[in-house]
Each structure stands twice: as structure tokens, then as C-alpha cells.
Structure 1
Amino acid sequence: MFQDDPNEAVMPDYVSDKHWEVCQQLVAEGLTDNQATRSLASLWTITNNAAKECWAAKQQRLEKIHRQNEEEEEHHLQLLHDKEEATRLEERKKEKQEQIHTHQAWKAYAIRKLKVGDFCKLHYFTNKGLKDTKTAVLVAKPEALVMLPEANRVHTWVPAAAIKDPKAAAIIKDKHLSWEEFNEAAPRMITMMRVQDWPDNHIDMHIQFWSTLQNHHWLHSPDQLKQHTLLLYWSQQHHRWYLTVRTLQGWSLKELNQDLLIEAREEIFDKHLEKQTARAIQVSCTAMSILKPL
């Protein structure tokens, strides 16, 4: 079998001194010098043509084997991909079912809110919110809303599924959550968003928004008012986003709006100043009543 490509072979120069001895053997058989060199050239050509045919057949076999190997490898990779995809979908299905079972305690009201893409308070996903759900008494229509009074005498509508008795605690607003409760609730809400097949861009936006707040330097400030400002900003913008997400005025929460953040800070500081002023007046009035002569 030829190791080199016979198509690249060059016919020897049989007239040269290198091939004189071979030519003389043919001359001794009765050929002339010219006939001897032509015979050697013809023999080389015949042999080279045969080698070319063998080489071409060999290349065809190799190409066929290579093509078969590629097809088999492609088929093998496709089988692996299909298997991995099927496994991923099955795991996703199991994960989704596990998440649903794991979060059975979550209020049906909150789940329905997320399912249709409506605004939902983080309270439902805090440890306290989950505990309230687990201890709640089942009612005939858990989706029904019940009016409960808050401490400030403003009535709040809450899901009946959350009610154990008439003295049940009202739902905590997002802006009144602690950062500990915020960190409890945010990942759980993200999980339920995935369970309810929210668009990936909306889920990523919430993750980015919450990450930005958690990494903001105000959160690590010793001034608790600045920490509360971030929660107020979150609650305001999160609610506004829900109100506009289905309109042409919708926007992304990824980027913090510094102007609105400053407004939230001023609101927090103003309320704090009002409380301090009211407390000072109360202390002053108490002191005056004590010092007032009988």
C-alpha cells in the first residue's frame, strides 16, 4: 500500500546516469537505448496509475469512515442532549412540584396575586407570614377578603385565609418591614415567581433591584433612617412598577432613581422630625403639669 500520494509522484529521468544500469539490462535483451528508456517510463506510468486508483479508493474509504464517525458522534451528542434536556425538564418539573408542595403553607391569596402578575406584599413571604398561614383556620372561601382594623383605625382588607380570629394581626406593609424580614421574604417571592412562570426579564429585574438595595451603602450606615429609606423607596417603586407594567409607562426597577431616593429620604426624615417634635411637646407639657403649683 502506498504511503505517499501517487498523484504527487514525479517520473524518474531514465536517461540519467542513475538509471543507466537498468536501461542496459533492457538493451541486453535486444532493445535500443531509446526503447529501453521509453519502456521504463511506460512501466512507471502504468504502476503510478494503478497506485492512483488504489489511493483514490483508499481516500474514499477513509472519507466514508470519517463521515460515518462524524454522523455517529453527532447522533451520540444529540442523544446526550436529548437525554440531558429530558432530565432537565423532569428535574424542573419535580423541582416545581417540590416547590409547590414546600410552599403549600403560603397563602392562596398571595400565590394567586403572583400568578396573574398583580402586586403582592412581601409580608406573605416572611417567617411571620408563613407562620400565620400554617396556624390559620381553613375557611370555605379562602379567596374572600375580610376587613380588619389597624392600630391607626384605618381598615385593611385581608384574605380570609389569613384569619384565625377577629384579633388576627393586620398585614405588614412593605415599608414597615425590617431588613431581616425583607431578606427572608425576597428569595421566597423570587422562587414563587419562577413557579408561576414569570418572564425571566421580570425575575432578573427584581433580583437586580433587590441586590442593588442590599449593596447600597446606606444599608450599612449606622443611621437607621437611611436604612428605612431604602425600604420605603423599595415599597413605593415596587408598587408603582406593578401599576404601570402593563402600560406604555412601564419601566425597569434595575436602576435606582436618585431623585426619588432623595424624596424618600426626605419623607423619612420629616416624619422622624415630626415624631421628635411631638415627643418634645409631650415631655414639655408633662413637665409643666408637674411643676404647676396646686
Structure 2
Amino acid sequence: MSTSSQPIPSSSNSNGGSPARLLSDPNAAICPDLRSDAFKDVRGLIDPDNGIAIAKLTESWTTNNDQLKQQWAAQVETDRQIQAAEEAQRQLEADQDAAEAARVAEEEKLEAEKKKPKLGDFDVNSAPPAFIESPISLFAQRKLERREYCPLWPFTPGGLREAADARLSSNDDISSLKLSRNDGNQLTVQSGPASSTHKNMARDEHLTWRQFSLASNRYIKEIVRAGWPRIHVEALTQFFYSLEQHDLHNIESDGENILKIYADRIRVEWFRTLGSSQSFNIAHHRGEISDEYFTNKRSKQSAEGFSG
């Protein structure tokens, strides 16, 4: 008789390894009719007593079915765990993708926020000042921010009017272009302060004494606002004050011209030598400044009809 007619199939594979995967639920299996003629020969092989043979066959089928039920339960649980793990992995990947998308969106939002114009805070309890001086030009601001020499013209009434006119026409926002090399040895185009704001720019020595005096006072105020070191502010303050009090105002007919020439040259030289072994204290200038150099300058100006 072929093995396919046996009522008790084996749950193990032919290699004696793990049980073969069940394709149907043994809980739904029904014990065959072991009393039928189909099992007559099998019953005869088991026991001559038909009743005993049927009992043994029934017991064997039930035992095997119970084992298959256990295998099925384990198989179902294994499948559930595998499916749960796969679902958890899919959910993890989905969460990671969502988190990455949210992170990118947040970065883009922050970057967009950075590019938006910002309004600064203000003190809600503070009243506005009673008087506000006319702002200096962007050109002068940049010079002071960079701690560089700046002529006094931008601080004169005329220079301040030019700055005000430039702001109205937006000329002060028009900057000259220059090439700059960064740390990566790359050339970039940068904007610089537009000196074209001051179309009437003049050297300090060509200012009137009133222009020179008003501009030097405003210049001192602005370097204080720009946060210059106290020692530099005090030296320049003493320098300009000593020029205001100098005897050349009364002794020489063109003494003020000589003072302006001296102030122009010495201030340029002071800035040029700052930080070097040639530096000096600009406040400690000589009392006698009308030496041969300035006398020649004075004579030249007198010949040209230059007036203070």
C-alpha cells in the first residue's frame, strides 16, 4: 500500500531537520472515518481486533494532529513576529524619512527667516531724544569702523548735507565694487563705501577754520560712538584742542592755514605709523610748528591768495 493512504502523515522533513512549513491549519482537520473499508487493510495490520485497531489509529491521528496544532501555533507566532518586525522597520524608515523631511523644512524655514529684514527691539519706556544730529555718511562710518584715517570734510556741515542728500536719493547705498580673495583662494565681488557721496571732498588743509573746528568736534563724537580705544580718543581730543588754543591764531596772519596744513599732514602720518616702531603721541606735538617747511607752505598759500 502506498504511503499516501496512511492516515498519520509525518510533520518532519525527510532530512530530519526543522518541520516542513504547514500549508493549512490543522485545527480545521477532521479525523477520517477509520471504520470505513478504506482503512480495512491498515486496521488488519495493526490488530486483528477491529475495535482495538480503530482505537489505536484514532489515538495516533489525534496525537499527530495535536503536534501539528502546536507547530501551526508556533508557525503563526513566528510569522506574526516577522511581520511585526518588518512593519516596525517600515515604520522606522518612514519616521526617519519624515524626521529628515521635517529637519530640511525647518532649516529652509530658518534660512528664509534669516533673509527677511529684521526690526530691532526698542525700550517702550524710553522717550526719544530732544535733538538728533544729522548722521554721517556711509563712507565716513566705514572709515571709523575700520579704524582708518578719514578726512574731516564728511564731518563738516557741507559734508553732512551731502550725506543727507545721498540718503534721500539712495546714492549712499551705491557702493563701489572690488575683488576680494577669501581663505579658499576664491575671488569674490564685495561692495565698498561709496566715496562719491562727497562730491566736494577736500583735504583738511583746504577747509575754512570754522569748517575745520566744527568737523573736528563732530569727528571726536563719532569716534567715541564707534568705540575707539580711550587712549586714542584722548590723544586726538588733546591734539585738536591744542590747535584751537595755539598762538598762531593771533601771531601769524595766515596762522590758521599753517595749523590746518600741520594738522592734515601730522594726522595722516599718525595713522600711517600706528602699531609700528615709528608711532608717536599726536597730542605731544611741538609748540613751534612754523618751521621752514610750514613757512614755505605759508608763503605759497599767501602767493596763491589762499584765505582761511
| TM-score, L = length of structure 2 | 0.47
Higher-Rg structure is 2
Larger helix proportion of the pair: 1
